[in-house]
Amino acid sequence: MKNIFKSLLIICLGFPFAASGQQTAKRFITITNVSDIPRKDAVVAIAWSDILKKYPLIDTSAFKVVLSGSKKEIPFQLEYRGEADVQNLLLQLSVGAKSSVKLEITNGKAAAFASKTYARYVPERKDDFTWENDKIAFRMYGKALEGSKENAYGVDVWVKRTDKLIINERYKRGEYHIDHGDGMDYYHVGLSLGAGNMAPYVNDTIRYSKNYTSWKVLDNGPLRSTFQLGYDTWDVAGMAMKATKTISLDAGSRLSRLEVTYSYTGTATMPVTVGITKRKEPGNILLDEQAGITAYWEPQHGSDGITGVGSILPGPMTKAKVTDEQLLAITLVKSNEPIVYYTGAAWSKAGEITDAVSWFNYLHSFKRALQNPLKIEIQ
């Protein structure tokens, strides 16, 4: 009698996964695109706490996410953000303009999906930290590079023309300046912000930090890789400055998300800049202060092709300007208040974005997607 009562209680409460492993109440997750921008292979985050409210008995090791109707499996990732417990359920799916997709969570072992993102510390190459997805790759420079002729301050781009993960293979070959059919590293950073690093911009001067001194991987694929870089204190016009940068890259995206926190004393707000290295030869430049977009379609680099670089500030941009060396997007920050922006690149020889117009359109579409996030409803 007692066991029967327990079973009835589970059914009445509508728990989607009973102790026997059978689903007793069907739930639907509806993802809606209210904008006129098709969202192809978008990575969507659903708070795990919201999942648990509707699926309180879910087994994290034995569930699948499927399209309602066709039952086609959707790639997913449990995102921890460096915490002990799951923070988000990440899904990758396409949603047409002004349309919806309905999903179900079911019992069973999920199919194995190839990882599309990856990040790692590279001690064998002077403390590099590299990250990539199925579209593009990047790296930042660590303490071991300081004082050498190779030292650089900014974000480096490793162009790709394959959807495979290539970081480890390139380091193993030791020939990443040569295209072996999957892309290469021909982007020059030097003592600049490279492809979208951020730095304080006080008295119209970029106040570079030294290279990162600590790192931590928070998540590592298959749909999103996130890591954190820490920087030692440096002097900025008499202020003792510290910085932490949390960087993530989603599958299918050409732009990384950077969340930067500056800690300092003194002035209430501080100007900072996101910079893009400018070449000596003519290139195509976009400075859209209203949209918060700074973009550059570089000049042709011989047989290596052309790299497009772009950055997006979701919040207000104070000013955009072009110097002899860099494109600068300037905004304001407050001590210990994170600022989020996006930066990334495309390569003409990858065959998807092959001219300046396509690159600038991609960035504007990305910004509109940020302004119109996919809506999530669990029924």
Q: How far is residue 166's CA from residue 188's CA, in Å, rounded to a whole number?
A: 19
Q: How far is residue 208's CA from residue 231's CA, in Å, rounded to a whole number?
A: 11
- Where in the sequence of the chain do the CATH 2.70.98 domains occur? 117-370
Residue type, 151: N
Contact in structure between 331 and 317 (CB atoms under 8 Å): yes
pLDDT at 322: 97
288-319 residues labelled b (16+ CB within 10 A) or e (exposed): bbebbbbbbbbeeeeebbbbbbbbbbeeebee
Structure tokens at 57: 């008995």
Q: How far is residue 157's CA from residue 351's CA, in Å, rounded to a whole number?
A: 17
Q: How far is residue 356's CA from residue 293's CA, in Å, rounded to a whole number?
A: 14
- Domain over 2-112 is classified CATH 2.60.40.1180: yes
- Where in the sequence of the chain do the CATH 2.60.40.1180 domains occur? 2-112
Domain at 117-370: CATH code? 2.70.98
Contact in structure between 77 and 223 (CB atoms under 8 Å): yes
pLDDT at 25: 60
Per-residue pLDDT 10s for the chain (379 aa) are 444 333 333 333 333 444 444 444 678 999 999 999 999 999 999 999 999 999 999 999 999 999 999 999 999 999 999 999 999 999 999 999 999 999 999 999 999 999 999 999 999 999 999 999 999 999 999 999 998 988 999 999 999 999 999 999 999 998 889 999 999 999 999 999 999 999 999 999 999 999 999 999 999 999 999 999 999 999 999 999 999 999 999 999 999 999 999 999 977 999 999 999 999 999 999 999 999 999 999 999 999 999 999 999 998 899 999 999 999 999 999 999 999 999 999 999 999 999 999 999 999 999 999 999 999 999 8
pTM of the model: 0.93
pLDDT at 182: 94
pLDDT at 294: 98
Helix (H, G, I), strand (E, B) or coil at 114: coil
